[in-house]
Amino acid sequence: MAKQKSSSAVRLRRVVQTVFLLLFLYLFLQTAFHAGGTAGKGIDFFFDIDPLVLLTVWLGGHVAAAALLFSLITAGITLIFGRWFCGWVCPFGALHNLVSSWRGATTKQKIETGGYTRWHHAKYYVLIAVLIAAIVGANLAGWIDPFSFFYRSMTMAVFPAINAGLQHFFDLIYRWSPGFAAVTTEPLYRLLRRYLLTLGQPHYFWSMMFGVLFGGVVALNFFRARFWCKYVCPLGALLGFIGKNPVLQLKTDPALCGDCKLCLVDCQGGANPNGQAPWKASECMYCWNCQSVCASSAISFKFEVPGGKK
Amino acid sequence: MFRWIANFFCPPKDAGIDLKRRHVTAAAVMGIGGGWLFHAQPADRNADANSGVRETAPNPALIRPPGSLAEAEFLSKCIRCAECMKACPTNAIQPAALEAGLQGMWSPVLKMSVGYCEYKCNLCTQVCPTGAIAKMPLESKQKVRMGLAMVDKSRCLPYAYGKTCYQCQVQCPLPKKAIWQEDATVINSAGEKIAVKLPHVDADLCVGCGTCERKCPVTDQAAIRVTSVGETRNPQNQFTWRDRYSG
**What is the secondary structure of B65-94 as a DSSP string?**
PTTBPPHHHHHHH-----HHHHH-TTS-EE
| CB-based contacts of A252, cutoff 8 Å, min separation 6 | A273, A274, A275, A279, A298, A299
- What's the sign of the alpha-carbon dihedral A95, A97, A99, A101? negative
Q: Using the beta-carbon criterion (under 8 Å), do A65 and B34 form an inter-chain contact?
A: no
Decide if A189 contacts A170 (C-beta within 8 A).
yes
pLDDT at B49 over 70: no
Q: Using the beta-carbon criterion (under 8 Å), do A121 and B17 form an inter-chain contact?
A: yes
| Confidence at B95, pLDDT banded by 50, 70, 90 | very high
Q: Is A205 on the interface with B (CB under 8 A)?
A: yes
Across chain B, what does the average pLDDT equal?
Answer: 86
Is B131 among the domain residues? no
pLDDT tens sequence for chain A (310 residues) = 445 678 889 999 999 999 999 999 999 998 888 877 788 788 889 999 999 998 988 887 777 677 788 889 999 999 999 999 999 999 999 999 999 989 888 888 888 888 888 889 999 999 999 999 888 877 888 899 999 999 999 999 999 999 999 999 988 988 888 888 888 888 888 888 888 888 789 999 999 999 999 999 999 999 999 999 999 999 999 999 998 888 888 888 888 888 888 888 889 988 888 888 888 889 999 999 988 988 888 898 888 877 654 4
Note the pLDDT tens digit of each residue in B100-124: 888 889 999 999 999 999 999 999 9
**Helix, coil or strand: residue A55:** helix
Decide if A57 contacts A64 (C-beta within 8 A).
yes
Q: Which residue of B has its CA nearest to A244?
A: B16
Is B32 among the domain residues? yes
pLDDT at B52 over 70: no
Q: Using the beta-carbon criterion (under 8 Å), do B4 and A277 form an inter-chain contact?
A: no
Is B114 among the domain residues? no
Domain range for residue B32? Answer: 2-40
Note the pLDDT tens digit of each residue in B14-30: 566 778 888 888 888 88
Radius of gyration of chain B (CA): 24
Q: Which residues pair with B227 in a beta bridge?
A: B148
Chain A positions touching B95 (Cβ under 8 A) are 152, 156, 204-206, 210
Decide if B210 contacts B65 (C-beta within 8 A).
no
The candidate with the shortest Cα–Cα distance to A279, out of A296, A260, A300, is A300
Q: How far is the alpha carbon of A243 from chain B, nearest alpha carbon, in Å?
A: 9
Q: pLDDT at position B246, please?
A: 47
Scanning chain B, the segments in alpha helix (DSSP H) are 2-9, 21-39, 71-77, 83-87, 123-127, 138-141, 167-171, 211-215, 241-245
Radius of gyration of chain A (CA): 22
Chain A positions touching B3 (Cβ under 8 A) are 305-308
Q: pLDDT at position B48, please?
A: 59
**Helix, coil or strand: residue A60:** helix
Q: Which DSSP category does B159 fall into?
A: I
What is the C-alpha separation between B50 and A74, in angstroms, rounded? Answer: 36
Is B180 among the domain residues? yes
Is B214 among the domain residues? yes
Q: What is the mean pLDDT of residues B153-164?
A: 92
Q: How many CB atoms lie under 10 A from the CB of residue B153?
A: 12
Q: Is A230 on the interface with B (CB under 8 A)?
A: no
pLDDT at B244 over 50: no
Decide if A57 contacts B76 (C-beta within 8 A).
yes
Q: How many CB atoms lie under 10 A from the CB of residue A307?
A: 18
The candidate with the shortest Cα–Cα distance to A97, out of A250, A194, A236, is A236
Q: Is A78 on the interface with B (CB under 8 A)?
A: no
Q: What is the mean pLDDT of residues B185-209?
A: 90
Q: Which residue of A has its CA nearest to B32?
A: A133
Is B197 among the domain residues? yes
Chain B positions touching A58 (Cβ under 8 A) are none
Is B191 among the domain residues? yes
What is the C-alpha separation between A171 and A153, in angstroms, rounded? Answer: 26
**Helix, coil or strand: residue A237:** helix
CATH number, domain with residue B153: 3.30.70
pLDDT at B245 over 50: no
Q: Using the beta-carbon criterion (under 8 Å), do A37 and B76 form an inter-chain contact?
A: no
Q: How many CB atoms lie under 10 A from the CB of residue A123?
A: 25
**What is the secondary structure of A84-123 as a DSSP string?**
HIIIII-HHHHHHHHHHTT----HHHHHHHSS--GGGGHH
| Confidence at B151, pLDDT banded by 50, 70, 90 | very high
Q: How many domains does chain B have?
A: 2
Q: What is the mean pLDDT of residues B2-18?
A: 66
- What's the sign of the alpha-carbon dihedral A219, A221, A226, A230? negative
Note the pLDDT tens digit of each residue in A215-255: 999 999 999 999 999 999 999 999 999 988 888 888 888 88
Is B75 among the domain residues? no
Q: How far is the alpha carbon of A287 from chain B, nearest alpha carbon, in Å?
A: 19
